[in-house]
C-alpha cells in the first residue's frame, strides 16, 4: 500500500549516506519511477545498443522555483536532455538521473518530481538506466538539483550546423518567451503565471513525425531554443555558416501576455529561455511540408517561418520591422536571468 504523502517525512542527511535510510529512499525512487527505470543496481548500467554512431549529452538543472504551474524540475530534466539528443537527429534511448537534495525537502515533493520524470520519460520513450542521490545540509542547495545525461542512437544522418546554406528558411516550432515569463512571474507573483505557461515538453516525438514526413536533407539542422533564447541560436548559426540571418519581427510567435510581461520586465522575448521550442533550418522547397508536419503535432501547432539565411557575408543577425527597416540583433553579454532551467 502506498504511504500517504504527509507521512513520508523529510529528506535527512542519512538518506544520502549509503545506510539503511539510503536504501529505503532508493526503494521509494525505484517504485515511483516504475517501468521507466531499468537499472539493475550494478555500479554501471550495461545496455544493448545497435552498432554505429551514438549521441551523448548531459545537463544540470537548478530551476527556481523547482515546482511551477505546469511542470517541475523533473519534467525539465527529462525534456532538456531528450531534446538535446533529438535536435541532432538522434533517437533518445537512455537517461541517467543524478539528484542533489537539500535536507528538509519533503519526501512527498521528491515523489512529485519523480512522478514527473516517469511521466515525461514515458512520453519521450526513454528509460532511466542508473542514478545517484546525494544529500546536502540545509542552505547548501535550494530544495533539489538534478543532472541527467542521455544516450541516443542515430537511425538517420546526424544534423549539423554546417549543413545550413544560404536561402534556407528559419522556422520556429512555437511561441518564444513563455517559459521565462512563467517562471519569473511565479518568483515575484507578477500575475502572468496563469495566462503564460511554460512550454516545457519533450519534442523528440514531433521531430520523429517531421523526419518521417520529409526527405533526407530537407531539414538541414535543428536547435532547441533554451538559454540565451532565439538570439543566441541565430548567432551560433550565423557564426558557423558565416552568413547573415535575417528574421521578420512581425512573424515572431509571441503570445500577447508574454509581450506584456517582457515589456514590463524590460527583457526581450528573443533573448528569453524556452524549454520546448525548436528552431529549424530548412530547404526552402520543403518549407510547407515541414510546417504541415510540425503543425500536425501537439507541440508544433504554432510553427511559423520567421526568416532566412541570406547570401550576405558577415555572420550578422538582422531583424526586419514592419516598415522594412533592418536592425542588428545583438548577442547579450549577460542576461542576469539565472536558474531558468
Partner 1 sequence: MGKIAVLTNDLQADVVHKTPERTAAMAEAQPRFVHFLEEMRRRGHGIYHLQLVNLPDDPNVERDFDGTLPLQRGSEGAAILGDFLDPSDNVVEKNKDSGFYETELHDLLQKNGVDTVLVTGLQTQICVQTTAADAFFRGYNIWVPSDCVVSGDPEARDRSLEWLSGYCATVATSEEILATLDSDGELARKVVKILP
Give the residues lining the site for partner 1 (CB under 8 A): 64, 142, 187-192, 194-195, 255-257, 260-261, 263-264
- The DSSP-derived string for 128-176 is EEEEEEEEE-TTSSSSEEEEEEEEEEESSPPP-GGG--TT-EEEESS-S
Q: How many CB atoms lie within 10 A of CB 87?
A: 22
Please state the length of the chain. Answer: 341
- Bridge partners (DSSP) of residue 318 are 246, 328
Give the 3-state secondary structure of 117-128.
HHHHHHHHCCEE
Q: How far is the CB of 235 from partner 1 (least distance, A)?
A: 28
Residue among 37 and 192 whose Cβ is closer to partner 1? 192
Q: Name the residue with cell 521509494.
A: 28
Phi-psi region of 104 (alpha: psi -120 to 50; beta: other; left: phi over 0): left
Residue among 189 and 334 whose Cβ is closer to partner 1: 189
Nearest to 141 by CA among 93, 174, 84, 98: 98
Rounded least distance, CB 79 to partner 1, Å: 24
Nearer to partner 1, 52 or 256 (CB): 256
Residue 90, all three cell numbers: 538522434
Closest separation in Å from C-beta 265 to partner 1: 10
Q: How far is the CB of 70 from partner 1 (least distance, A)?
A: 16
Shortest Cβ 336–partner 1 spacing (Å): 15
| Residue number with CB closer to partner 1 (6 or 256) | 256
Specify the residue, 69 or 125, whose C-beta has the smaller distance to partner 1: 69
Our measurement of the distance from residue 251's CA atom to the centroid of its chain's CA atoms, rounded to an integer in Å, reads 23
Of 119 and 142, nearer to partner 1 (C-beta) is 142
Smallest distance, partner 1 to C-beta of residue 264, A: 6
In the bound complex, what is the minimum distance in angstroms from residue 208's beta carbon to partner 1? Answer: 29
138 or 160: whose CB is closer to partner 1?
Answer: 138
CB 307 within 8 A of CB 227: no
> Residue 317 is placed in which grid cell?
543577425
Helix 107-124 to helix 73-86 angle, to the nearest 10 degrees?
A: 30
Shortest Cβ distance from residue 40 to partner 1 (Å)? 38
Pairing status of strand 317-320 against strand 243-248:
parallel
Q: Which three cell numbers stand for residue 225?
A: 531554443
The dihedrals phi and psi of 81, each to the nearest 5 degrees, come to -80, -40
159 or 303, CB closer to partner 1? Answer: 303
Amino acid at each position: 500500500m502506498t504511504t500517504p504523502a504527509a507521512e513520508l517525512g523529510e529528506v535527512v542527511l542519512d538518506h544520502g549516506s549509503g545506510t539503511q535510510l539510503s536504501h529505503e529512499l532508493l526503494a521509494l525512487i525505484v517504485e515511483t519511477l516504475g517501468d521507466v527505470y531499468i537499472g539493475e543496481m550494478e555500479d554501471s548500467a550495461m545496455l544493448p545498443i545497435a552498432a554505429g554512431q551514438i549521441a551523448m549529452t548531459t545537463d544540470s538543472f537548478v530551476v527556481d522555483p523547482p515546482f511551477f504551474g505546469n511542470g517541475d524540475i523533473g519534467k525539465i530534466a527529462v525534456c532538456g536532455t531528450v531534446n538535446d539528443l533529438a535536435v541532432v537527429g538522434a533517437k533518445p534511448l537512455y537517461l541517467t538521473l543524478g539528484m542533489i537534495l537539500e535536507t528538509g525537502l519533503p519526501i512527498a515533493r521528491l515523489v512529485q518530481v519523480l512522478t514527473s520524470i516517469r511521466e515525461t520519460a514515458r512520453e519521450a520513450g526513454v528509460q532511466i538506466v542508473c542514478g545517484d542521490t546525494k544529500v546536502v545540509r540545509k542552505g547548501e542547495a535550494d530544495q533539489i538539483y538534478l543532472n541527467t545525461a542521455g544516450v541516443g542512437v542515430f537511425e538517420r544522418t546526424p544534423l549539423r550546423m554546417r549543413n545550413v546554406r544560404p536561402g534556407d528558411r528559419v522556422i520556429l516550432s512555437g511561441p518564444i518567451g513563455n517559459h521565462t515569463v512563467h517562471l519569473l512571474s511565479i518568483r515575484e507573483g507578477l500575475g502572468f503565471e496563469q495566462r503564460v505557461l511554460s512550454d516545457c515538453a519533450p519534442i523528440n516525438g514531433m521531430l520523429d513525425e517531421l523526419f518521417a514526413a520529409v526527405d533526407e536533407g530537407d531539414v538541414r539542422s535543428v536547435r532547441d531554443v533554451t538559454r540565451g533564447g532565439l538570439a543566441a541560436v541565430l548567432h551560433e548559426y550565423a557564426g558557423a555558416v558565416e552568413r547573415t540571418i535575417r528574421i521578420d519581427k512581425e512573424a515572431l510567435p509571441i503570445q500577447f501576455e508574454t509581450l506584456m510581461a517582457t515589456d514590463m520586465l524590460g527583457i526581450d522575448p528573443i533573448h528569453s529561455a524556452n524549454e520546448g521550442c525548436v528552431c529549424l533550418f530548412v530547404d526552402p522547397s520543403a518549407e510547407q511540408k515541414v510546417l504541415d508536419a510540425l503543425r500536425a503535432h501537439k507541440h508544433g501547432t504554432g510553427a511559423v517561418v520567421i526568416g532566412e539565411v541570406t547570401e550576405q557575408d558577415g555572420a550578422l543577425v538582422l531583424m526586419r520591422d514592419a516598415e522594412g527597416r533592418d536592425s542588428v540583433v545583438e548577442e547579450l553579454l549577460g542576461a542576469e536571468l539565472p536558474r531558468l532551467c
